Structure 1
């Protein structure tokens, strides 16, 4: 995957924040040519963000942009065959445009081609699917990995050089997994020893737990100095395996997605950091692309760069910047921006830890 950026990163972020804020103004908000059906296909229910954040945000934004439009939704539950069937069903039932977060970015290629033959444009959401994609919205995956790697080194302290890190990567079916890994290694390589490295099928907490069990068996429960976990579901599996092995002083563990349980683990001292990705801006960009394409418009006023996939060049693209979250930045990054309330984060069991962290309602 190659991305061409024509403007500085700050300009990209500024443009996206502007489009996120413009909920009801401008030409986008005018339902000029009647309604149509937008198909939204998400990859799984295993990661909380899809059902809790992305789906309602996309649905809300499409309703704002096109009050007469209808959203048809399907979740693949990590089954690539099921998602291909869902794409066919969406096309058969008259969807005019699709937003697809692929369960398997290669396996979905034939379905994207089917949509193209039917004249149904496809917006790739969060993961860049293969095939004739019309638009792509995601976050800078290399930066996600770099943020994780830098936070891990900082948490391990000045004596991090030469210490042992376990890399718990994402699902190999997702190109984002390699993107995150490469970003993290650009920071970690030559500074730490990668003791073990695993891929996590389905981004599953259970699979991550099993992989961490294997790492503990190979390296010893107290010879793991840090865990580069690609996302919060994987971090949950790593932490549970370490605790099960009797590790009372947990090593630094990274994450991604700012899941509520992960934020609580950060408060509890069980996870070092997570990466917050402003899903509202991502959802807004995808909805804008879908509505524009459904109306037969170009994406010139929406895309800020272009990306090449293994099959398609110059895909109009929006890439957003991720933000690291640690114990000291939960309030300004998540609470102040309305992602969670202090009461949601600070369960009775965490009240004392929240007080120590300065999280007060």
Structure 2
């Protein structure tokens, strides 16, 4: 049943209640309290600006839109897998019926997912697919993200692709998405460029990425490096600082459409980012969570595909389509999608670059 139809039934039920008729559509009757909805929201960290600025408020807003009286218990694990496991225990003790879970470590969280499942608590894996008996999953096509990044890097390199080496920064080894970004990028780059250095960066830490890039420059020589693959914008920030310190400006990728990345793109110190519009992803996660909390089966249009987790579970899912953002389409992507206003992007330090890019 679509949510539109459910909304129509709810309206009809309200009218019926005012007439003293049993509200069969909601399963309640006059004097019978509606079941309280309790949802736990567990996000992995706050160094990446998206989680506190976009994901959390969008998810909470949608839950309240669908279930105004819902209780939302929020947790941020601050990059600690152990902390997140403890937070799951806290959420279970509070009686949360559904957990929206963006895992710090998809593998180590499996025991917590299994514990929740045994307690009858549903799990919506958000953005990263946790291992264990997950009930639903929403994310973007992460292999496609890597393919888009790799293609953009090749396009930016042009004839220089065969004249030097690139450095790859693939992100956190505990994030299953990072493995998919990496696989997608390699599927495009392998055989087309020489990879001089390749790194994993625990916890997506920009400081570590900065140190890794500085080390690569020292080891390879700055004249040999023609481009850098960065799996996200947080890493790209640290990488861009290392490149600037070495007097270098080469093609550099990213992901997440962070504000600082958009500004680097305007200045030409980052080539592209990949936007994964947060609101559609957040809205779907919230809708899944409310449906599950209400004991409903998720409709096929909400879970059109099935994915397999690292532990072998088949999980109904939605995979959304990512978008490449470059200097030419900022207005038609992140501005149009409401991530940032032109005023937020075009502060005085970027005024000239904004004018050149047509952001006025």
State if a TM-score over 0.5 links the two structures: yes
| Bigger-Rg structure (1/2) | 2
Equivalent position of 2:126 in the other structure: 125
Work out the CA distance in 2 between the residues paired with 1:185 and 1:163: 17
Structure 1 residue matching 2:115: 3-state secondary structure: helix
CA-to-aligned-CA distance 1:261-290 (integer Å, 9 cap, x gap): 100110111100000001111001111111
Work out the CA distance in 2 between the residues paired with 1:180 and 1:188: 12
Structure 2 portions without partners, runs of 5+: 12-25, 27-33
1:353 aligns with 2:353: yes
Structure 2 residue matching 1:256: 3-state secondary structure: coil
Work out the CA distance in 2 between the residues paired with 1:162 and 1:287: 48
CA shift at 1:311, angstroms?
Answer: 2.6
Superposed counterparts of 1:250-265, under 5 Å: 250-265=249-264
CA contact (8 A) 1:28 1:65 kept: no
Superposed counterparts of 1:136-175, under 5 Å: 136-161=137-162, 163-175=164-176
CA-to-aligned-CA distance 1:334-359 (integer Å, 9 cap, x gap): 11222211110011011011111111
Work out the CA distance in 2 between the residues paired with 1:144 and 1:350: 27
1:48 aligns with 2:49: yes
CA-to-aligned-CA distance 1:61-113 (integer Å, 9 cap, x gap): 00011111111100001100000000000000111110000000011011001
Work out the CA distance in 2 between the residues paired with 1:338 and 1:141: 22
Work out the CA distance in 1 between the residues paired with 2:277 and 2:155: 24
Equivalent position of 1:339 in the other structure: 339
CA shift at 1:35, angstroms?
Answer: 3.2
Equivalent position of 1:314 in the other structure: 314
Equivalent position of 1:188 in the other structure: 189
Structure 1 residue matching 2:225: 3-state secondary structure: coil
CA shift at 1:231, angstroms?
Answer: 0.1
Work out the CA distance in 2 between the residues paired with 1:185 and 1:312: 24
Work out the CA distance in 2 between the residues paired with 1:264 and 1:202: 24
Rate the CA distance shift 1:324–1:215 in 2: closer, same or farther, 3 A: same
CA contact (8 A) 1:132 1:312 kept: no
CA shift at 1:26, angstroms?
Answer: 4.0
Work out the CA distance in 1 between the residues paired with 2:242 and 2:258: 19
CA-to-aligned-CA distance 1:171-217 (integer Å, 9 cap, x gap): 00011111000000111010000010000111011111011111111
Work out the CA distance in 1 between the residues paired with 2:343 and 2:183: 37
CA-to-aligned-CA distance 1:98-149 (integer Å, 9 cap, x gap): 0000000011011001101111010110001011100011000111001101
Equivalent position of 1:76 in the other structure: 77
CA shift at 1:163, angstroms?
Answer: 2.9
Work out the CA distance in 2 between the residues paired with 1:329 and 1:91: 44
Structure 1 portions without partners, runs of 5+: 1-18
Equivalent position of 1:295 in the other structure: 294
Equivalent position of 2:20 in the other structure: none
Runs of 4+ in 1 over 3 A off after TM superposition: 28-35
Work out the CA distance in 2 between the residues paired with 1:338 and 1:40: 23
CA shift at 1:221, angstroms?
Answer: 2.1
CA contact (8 A) 1:35 1:67 kept: no
Superposition RMSD in Å: 1.5
Structure 1 residue matching 2:171: 3-state secondary structure: coil
Superposed counterparts of 1:167-316, under 5 Å: 167-247=168-248, 250-301=249-300, 302-316=302-316
Q: What's the TM-score, normalizing by structure 1?
A: 0.90
Equivalent position of 1:27 in the other structure: 6
CA contact (8 A) 2:161 2:193 kept: yes
Equivalent position of 1:8 in the other structure: none
Rate the CA distance shift 1:28–1:293 in 2: closer, same or farther, 3 A: farther
CA contact (8 A) 2:131 2:313 kept: no
